[in-house]
């Protein structure tokens, strides 16, 4: 898009609320696409924070391609720049985010095959840069003077044509130009200056890359409130949405970007997120899915036209141009396959040698083509979960990030080993339309919500704000290693625990923490006492193999050897690990052999445990019984 443009269109309600919006935004800065989110509703009367939604730029784009293109004297940013890859690839820059903060010598050779060539900057040592051709305005000519005619003493010569020149632009400069366009789009939309932003970063970014991104953003005029890890943005967004999810849950974040697969495993306890494990793999990415589609349609084109088309990779200039056209076209094909179970088309005018092409592929065929990519992603998920020393059954929720994760086939593959109760955007129905689980907007909306939180904290106390600074002592926390719970022993009780087990503090809960729970207990009779034990337990998975049940109308085949394939059955188990304390309660308000009991447990940062038990009745609370286990000194 050109640098200047009209204010983007918005709904009447959005424009009416524009003056109420806080002057902060959330920015998802990906390697392929970016998006901007703001709080579009502020319900002051009801004391609500608002709803975060992605806004459109001047061209009506909510998903803005991370691309910059130079065409003569014009510079394009966004999807218009990406379309320049067909005819003006040598002057179009894409995929620059992942190069931020890296030296030229650190960039793998495989990364150098971007549209505009990545080269060593001619004057800056070991600095990656791009070389593009631009048209510079010609210098103003000197006026021509005549000696005898005063009125004609200042006669200008005709203006010269612009001069073609080579321009060397660093990765940081490209990032600054792109972020500047995002800032302008946000300010045009809101109608006032932006005073701060939270920007998403992948967990694989090191401190040098984070510093480079911060510098580029500040040079673009953006006050960076926080660089928020992608997993953190997801946790913020999913913890404040309308979809009902357990307050305490283990969350798997699957970020399938264009160039890599980023996985994060989070323990979310009462809104606090604790990272259990992360994994990054550059061998799996959305570009690989595009390459599969490009090869499929190139093969179909060759069959129909008897014209050879070599793609992914391509070396011939005609083939390179055809591949660029196909890659732009298959983006629409993937979106159609994500939204519809039927077939999707791919149409390209003058694909090669002036020949047009129109082909189609159904979802079944598509899933067969990209199944190896799905399987590799699933293998990496299992590797991540195993590294955290948990099982797939322990995962309560799967969240997807990136447009490639909108594909139903990927969800079907990844959900195979998880519990049937696992929550995914497909099962919750929030995978599209800007819902809580929309993979294309979730990071930007999470950043906007975090920005609003930080903006409000700056007006309250600086000490709380320090908890959001990377490396701060307030951000370094411990977590419980085992689940702490209450056991009500019962004679003859079956199972591993020997009584009724009530979990209080789940494992991987950030410390310090406080939990309060109310439940019913049985009372044998008047004057009876109820005993409670507090344990740390070890959670495990019991695996058994059973023969599948035979249907009533199923006949035995005499040719079979009688050995059926066994089914693997998994179930969660609990084992007593460490005894902490016990206490006894004398109920005074039992009704029909039952009474209400409220328990409060506090676990300190040193892992000390304070327990308080009391009976609850319609008249209030009974006398509390307390017990304590000191923590580490």
Q: What is the CA radius of gyration of the chain?
A: 31
Mean pLDDT of 205-229: 95
* pLDDT tens by residue, 138-164: 766 655 555 555 554 455 555 567 888
Q: What is the pLDDT of residue 43?
A: 42
The DSSP symbol for 330 reads H
pLDDT at 578 over 70: yes
Q: What is the pLDDT of residue 115?
A: 79
With vertex at residue 218, the alpha carbon angle to CA 213 and CA 222, rounded to the nearest 5 degrees, is: 105
Give the C-alpha separation, 294 to 302, whole Å.
12
Lowest mean pLDDT, pick from 66-75, 146-155, 428-437: 146-155
pLDDT at 492 over 70: no
pLDDT at 618 over 60: yes
Give strand ranges (E) for 55-210.
64-65, 67-71, 74-77, 92-94, 118-120, 128-136, 163-170, 196-201
Between residues 15 and 282, which one has the greater pLDDT? 282
* pLDDT tens by residue, 49-58: 568 889 998 8
Mean pLDDT of 4-31: 62
Q: What is the pLDDT of residue 471?
A: 62
Q: What is the pLDDT of residue 601?
A: 95
* Residues whose CB falls within 8 Å of the CB of residue 626, separated by 6 or more in sequence, listed in order: 583, 610, 611, 612, 613
Between residues 281 and 527, which one has the greater pLDDT? 281
* pLDDT tens by residue, 189-198: 888 899 999 9
Q: Which of 530, 531, 522 is nearest to 592 (CA)?
A: 522
Mean pLDDT of 36-41: 84
* pLDDT tens by residue, 385-424: 999 999 999 999 999 999 899 999 999 999 888 988 898 9
Dihedral of the CA atoms 311, 317, 318, 319 (nearest 10)?
0
- Beta carbons of 281 and 257 less than 8 angstroms apart: no
pLDDT at 549 over 60: yes
Give the C-alpha separation, 426 to 407, whole Å.
10
Instruction: Give the strand pairing for 224-229 and 196-201.
Output: parallel
Highest-confidence segment of 3-17, 20-34, 49-63, 188-202: 188-202
Mean pLDDT of 468-492: 77
Instruction: Give the strand pairing for 24-29 and 196-201.
Output: parallel
Q: Where are the alpha helices (DSSP H) in 240-387?
A: 286-305, 317-339, 363-387
In sequence order, the β-bridge partners of residue 54 are: 37
The sign one gets for the Cα dihedral 491, 492, 494, 495 is positive
pLDDT at 232 over 60: yes
Tokens 């955290």 label which residue? 388
Q: What is the pLDDT of residue 23?
A: 86
Give the C-alpha separation, 130 to 117, whole Å.
6
Q: Which of 192, 213, 194, 217 is nearest to 204 (CA)?
A: 213
Q: Which of 251, 236, 254, 264 is nearest to 446 (CA)?
A: 236
In sequence order, the β-bridge partners of residue 122 are: none
pLDDT at 336 over 80: yes
Burial class (CB in 10 A: 0-12, 13-18, 19+), 584: exposed
- Beta carbons of 488 and 497 less than 8 angstroms apart: no
Instruction: Give the strand pairing for 530-546 and 128-136.
Output: unpaired
Give the C-alpha separation, 210 to 216, whole Å.
10
Tokens 């953006």 label which residue? 222
In sequence order, the β-bridge partners of residue 583 are: 532
pLDDT at 599 over 60: yes
Q: Which of 568, 390, 619 is nearest to 482 (CA)?
A: 390
Does residue 512 have a cis peptide bond before it, meaning omega lies within 30 degrees of 0? yes
pLDDT at 260 over 70: yes
Instruction: Find how far residue 28's CA is from the centre of its chain.
Output: 9
- Beta carbons of 435 and 52 less than 8 angstroms apart: no
Give the C-alpha separation, 253 to 255, whole Å.
6
The DSSP symbol for 95 reads -
Lowest mean pLDDT, pick from 30-44, 168-182, 570-584: 30-44
Length of the chain: 633
Q: What is the pLDDT of residue 596?
A: 92
Give the C-alpha separation, 59 to 6, whole Å.
8
Q: What is the pLDDT of residue 524?
A: 82
Dihedral of the CA atoms 283, 288, 289, 291 (nearest 10)?
-170
Average pLDDT value over all residues in the chain: 84
Tokens 């923590």 label which residue? 631
The DSSP symbol for 510 reads B
Lowest mean pLDDT, pick from 98-112, 211-225, 285-299: 98-112
């Amino acid at each position: 898009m050109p640098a200047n443009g009209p204010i983007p269109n918005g709904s009447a309600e959005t424009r009416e609320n524009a003056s109420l919006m806080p002057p902060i935004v959330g920015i998802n800065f990906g390697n392929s696409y970016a998006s901007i989110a703001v709080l579009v509703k502020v319900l002051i009367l009801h004391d609500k924070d608002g709803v975060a939604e992605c806004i459109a730029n001047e061209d009506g784009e909510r998903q803005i391609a991370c691309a910059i293109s130079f065409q003569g004297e014009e510079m394009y940013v966004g999807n218009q720049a990406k379309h320049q890859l067909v005819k003006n690839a040598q002057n179009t820059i894409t995929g620059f985010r992942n190069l931020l903060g890296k030296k030229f010598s650190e960039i793998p050779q495989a990364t150098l095959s971007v549209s505009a060539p990545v080269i060593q900057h001619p004057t800056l040592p070991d600095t990656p840069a791009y070389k593009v051709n631009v048209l510079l305005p010609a210098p103003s000519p000197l006026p021509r003077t005549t000696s005898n005619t005063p009125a004609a003493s200042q006669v200008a010569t005709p203006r010269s044509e612009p001069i073609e020149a080579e321009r060397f632009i660093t990765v940081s400069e490209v990032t600054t130009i792109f972020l500047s366009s995002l800032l302008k789009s946000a300010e045009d939309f809101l109608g006032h200056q932006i005073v701060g932003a939270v920007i998403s970063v992948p967990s694989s970014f090191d401190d040098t890359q984070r510093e480079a991104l911060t510098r580029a953003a500040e040079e673009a005029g953006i006050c960076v409130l926080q660089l928020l890890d992608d997993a953190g943005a997801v946790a913020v967004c999913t913890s404040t949405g309308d979809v009902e999810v357990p307050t305490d849950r283990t969350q798997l974040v699957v970020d399938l970007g264009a160039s890599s697969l980023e996985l994060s495993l989070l323990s979310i306890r009462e809104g606090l997120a604790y990272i259990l494990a992360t994994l990054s793999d550059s061998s799996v990415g959305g570009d690989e899915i595009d390459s599969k589609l490009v090869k499929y349609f190139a093969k179909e084109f060759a069959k129909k036209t008897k014209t050879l088309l070599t793609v992914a990779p391509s070396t011939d200039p005609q083939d390179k141009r055809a591949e660029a056209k196909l890659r732009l076209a298959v983006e629409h094909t993937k979106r159609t396959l994500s939204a519809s179970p039927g077939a999707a088309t791919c149409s390209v005018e003058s694909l090669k040698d002036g020949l047009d092409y129109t082909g189609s592929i159904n979802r079944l065929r598509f899933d067969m083509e990209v199944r190896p990519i799905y399987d590799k992603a699933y293998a990496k998920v299992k590797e991540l979960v195993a590294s955290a020393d948990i099982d797939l059954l322990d995962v309560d929720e799967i969240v997807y990030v990136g447009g490639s994760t909108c594909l139903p086939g990927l969800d079907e593959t990844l959900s195979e080993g998880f519990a049937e109760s696992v929550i995914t955007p497909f099962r919750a129905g929030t995978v599209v339309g800007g819902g809580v689980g929309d993979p294309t907007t979730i990071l930007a909306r999470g950043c906007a919500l975090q920005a609003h939180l930080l903006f409000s904290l700056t007006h309250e106390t600086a000490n709380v704000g320090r908890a959001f600074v990377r490396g701060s002592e307030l951000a370094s926390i411990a977590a419980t290693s085992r689940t702490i719970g209450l056991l009500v022993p019962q004679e003859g009780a079956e199972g591993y625990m020997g009584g009724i087990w009530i979990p209080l503090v789940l494992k991987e809960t950030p410390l310090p923490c406080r939990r309060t729970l109310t439940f019913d207990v049985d009372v044998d009779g008047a004057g009876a006492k109820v005993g409670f034990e507090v344990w740390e337990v070890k959670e495990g998975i019991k695996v058994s193999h059973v023969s599948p049940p035979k249907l009533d109308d199923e006949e035995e085949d005499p040719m079979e050897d009688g050995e059926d394939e066994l089914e693997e059955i998994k179930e969660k188990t609990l084992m007593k690990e460490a005894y902490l304390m016990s206490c006894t309660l004398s109920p005074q308000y039992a009704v029909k052999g039952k009474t209400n009991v409220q328990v409060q447990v506090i676990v300190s940062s040193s892992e000390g445990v304070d327990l308080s038990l009391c009976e609850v009745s319609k008249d209030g609370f009974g006398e509390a019984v307390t017990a304590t286990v000191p923590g580490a000194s």
